[in-house]
Every structure is written in structure tokens, then in C-alpha cells.
């Protein structure tokens, strides 16, 4: 049985841990609101960009050559998986759920004889993937120290993806991130970036459909918009990830704080029982000694 000093040290240690987890929960709660607002504000722009690209793609003359980022290379032999995760842990299953989705997709592709390469955005994703796919990680970037994710960060990642595509490093590019739904729900999501997936017909009747004349022509506009669309989608993914990270961290730290409180309660009860047993034992010894005299 542990001594009273050991029990006091345990209780003090758990209380110190509880203070840390409570502070981290409060910090995550304070940052979550701003991150959630940023993620929700980015969704309409990203969705509208996809609709504009779909409208432009549908307007291209039959037989006209499509831009490379839209039409692709015509092959799907080499896949680049861009895995966006957090820079820190202590966030429950946030990082592992994204990596798990990317890993399952990679193993499926490799089982089909495809070549898989990784672009890791975030330290935790790199740490988890390098155990199994270290030789297949061709690019990585960390956003440590970046308090507020900006479009410049996403634009730099987008330019590196396009540079790899122009160099013939891959045929298909897929982006992995966690879509923020609520504090307790973050949905691991895969989105194909190259070739760009544009929505088909929206179901609008032909007589009610609006037609546009573009100047310059559709091919030139697509050539300018498609690279920007990659940066926009990466920016959206980073903002969704940020909100998801704080939501997951808030839930994880709340659970840790509750568990620490329960442990303190049990250790305090054990301490009181042990102390009472020692006092009772000492009283028995005193009374026995007095009776012996």
C-alpha cells in the first residue's frame, strides 16, 4: 500500500495536470470561435469557384483542347496525396482520422498497381506517415508558428503542387483534410484537385438556363482560374482543419479535465482511508500498551 506521502504527491501531480488541461481547454474555446467563423466564411467562395469552373467547362467548344489542370494527363498511374494535418497533438483522433483515410486510399491504390506519393502539410501527418511511407514522401511543409492561416500560405502550397504537376511527378492529386461540422464532429474528407472535378448539370431546365458570353474565351479564363482554384481549395482545407483542430482539442481537454477530477476524487478517498487506518492502528497500539501496564 502506498504511503501517505506518495498519495499526497499523486494528488498534487494530478491537480497540476488538471490545471494544464483546463487552461488548454479554455485557450481552444477562445480560438475556436474565430477559426469557425473563418472556415464558414471560406465555404461560399470555394463553392462558388467550383460552380464558375463547372459553368466554364460546360461552355468549352466540343473538340477544343481542355487546360491541363482540367483535362489531366489522360493517365492515373501516379497519385499525389496531399495530407493536411495539425502541427500539434493533444486533440483526440483529429490527426489520426485524416491520416487513416489517406493511408487506406494509398494502400488501395498500391494494391491496384498504382504509384503513390505524399505531400505532407503539418508535422503530425508527416510523423504518422513516415513510419510506413517514408520513401514516398516527396514534399512536406510545416506551419508551426503561424497563428493565423492566410491565403499566402495556401498559395505557396498550391504553387508547389502545380510545379510538381508540370514536372510530370504525378497524374492525379487528392487533398485530405477534416471538414468542421461541430465541436464533437470533424469529418475526414478527400477532395480531388487535379484533374479538377467539376459538377455536372445542375438540373436546371434548358429554357431557364442562363448562358454567358466570355471575353476572353473560356479556355483562357480556365487557364487563369484553375491554378487559383487549387490555392482556394487548399486555403479552405487549412481553415477547416484549424477549426476542426480546436474543436477536437477542446473536447479532448474537457475529457482529460473530467478524468483528472475523477482520479483526484478516488485518490483523495484512498488517502483518507489510509490515514484513518493508520490513526486507528496507532490508537489500538496505545490502548493495548496502556492495558498491559
Residue pLDDT, tens place only, 189-216:
999 888 887 665 444 444 445 555 656 6
Helices 218-292, 151-166: axis angle to 10 degrees equals 120
Please tell me the distance from the alpha carbon of residue 60 to that of residue 221, in angstroms, as a whole number: 11
pTM (predicted TM-score): 0.81
In which domain, by residue range, is 49 found? Answer: 27-252
What secondary structure does DSSP assign to 25-65, as a single string?
A: HHHHHHHHHHHHHHHHHHHHHHHHHHHHHHHHHHHSPTTPP
Residues 194 and 52 in one domain: yes
pLDDT for 210 equals 55
pLDDT for 203 equals 47
pLDDT for 16 equals 94
Please tell me the distance from the alpha carbon of residue 93 to that of residue 186, in angstroms, as a whole number: 10
The CATH code of the domain that includes 86 is 3.40.1380.10
Q: Which residues of the chain have pLDDT under 50?
A: 201-208
The gap between the terminal CA atoms of the chain, to the nearest Å, is 32
Residues 101 and 190 in one domain: yes
Q: What would the pLDDT profile of 85-125 be if each residue is shown by its tens digit?
A: 988 888 888 899 999 999 999 999 999 999 999 999 988 88
Q: Please give the grid coordinates belonging to residue 101.
A: 483515410
The domain tally of the chain equals 2
Residues 184 and 120 in one domain: yes
Residues 205 and 266 in one domain: no
pLDDT for 52 equals 80
Q: Please give the grid coordinates belonging to residue 42.
A: 471560406
State the CB neighbour count (10 A cutoff) for residue 195: 21
- Is 65 in contact with 111 (CB distance < 8 Å)? no
Residues 229 and 270 in one domain: no
pLDDT for 83 equals 92
Residues 17 and 83 in one domain: no
Residues 273 and 207 in one domain: no
Residues 245 and 270 in one domain: no
Please tell me the distance from the alpha carbon of residue 7 to that of residue 212, in angstroms, as a whole number: 76
Residues 283 and 153 in one domain: no
pLDDT for 176 equals 94
Alpha carbon distances (Å) from 204 to 4, 118, 218:
76, 39, 21
pLDDT for 206 equals 45
Looking at the domain assignment, is residue 292 inside a domain?
Answer: no
Residues 244 and 274 in one domain: no
pLDDT for 229 equals 87
Amino acid at each position: 500500500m502506498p504511503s501517505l506521502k506518495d498519495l499526497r504527491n499523486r494528488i498534487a501531480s494530478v491537480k497540476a495536470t488538471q490545471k494544464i488541461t483546463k487552461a488548454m481547454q479554455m485557450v481552444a474555446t477562445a480560438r475556436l470561435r474565430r477559426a469557425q467563423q473563418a472556415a464558414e466564411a471560406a465555404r461560399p467562395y470555394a463553392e462558388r469557384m467550383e460552380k464558375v469552373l463547372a459553368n466554364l467547362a460546360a461552355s468549352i467548344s466540343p473538340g477544343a483542347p481542355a487546360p491541363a489542370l482540367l483535362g489531366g494527363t489522360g493517365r492515373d498511374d501516379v497519385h499525389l496525396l496531399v495530407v493536411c494535418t495539425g502541427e500539434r497533438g493533444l486533440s483526440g483522433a483529429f490527426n489520426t482520422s485524416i491520416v487513416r483515410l489517406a493511408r487506406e486510399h494509398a494502400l488501395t491504390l498500391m494494391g491496384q498497381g498504382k504509384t503513390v506519393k505524399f505531400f505532407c502539410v503539418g508535422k503530425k501527418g508527416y510523423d504518422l506517415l513516415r513510419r510506413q511511407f517514408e520513401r514516398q514522401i516527396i514534399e512536406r511543409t510545416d506551419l508551426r508558428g503561424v497563428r493565423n492561416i492566410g491565403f499566402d500560405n495556401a498559395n505557396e502550397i498550391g504553387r508547389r503542387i502545380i510545379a510538381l504537376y508540370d514536372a510530370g511527378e504525378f497524374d492525379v492529386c487528392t487533398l485530405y483534410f477534416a471538414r468542421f461540422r461541430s465541436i464533437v464532429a470533424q469529418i475526414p474528407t478527400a477532395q480531388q484537385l487535379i484533374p479538377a472535378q467539376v459538377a455536372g448539370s445542375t438540373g436546371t431546365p434548358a429554357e431557364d438556363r442562363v448562358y454567358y458570353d466570355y471575353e476572353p474565351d473560356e479556355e483562357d479564363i480556365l487557364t487563369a482560374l484553375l491554378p487559383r482554384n487549387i490555392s482556394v481549395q487548399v486555403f479552405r482545407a487549412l481553415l477547416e482543419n484549424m477549426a476542426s483542430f480546436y474543436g477536437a482539442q477542446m473536447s479532448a481537454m474537457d475529457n482529460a479535465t473530467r478524468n483528472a477530477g475523477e482520479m483526484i476524487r478516488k485518490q483523495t478517498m484512498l488517502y483518507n482511508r489510509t490515514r484513518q487506518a493508520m490513526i486507528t492502528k496507532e490508537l489500538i497500539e496505545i490502548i493495548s500498551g496502556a492495558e498491559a501496564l
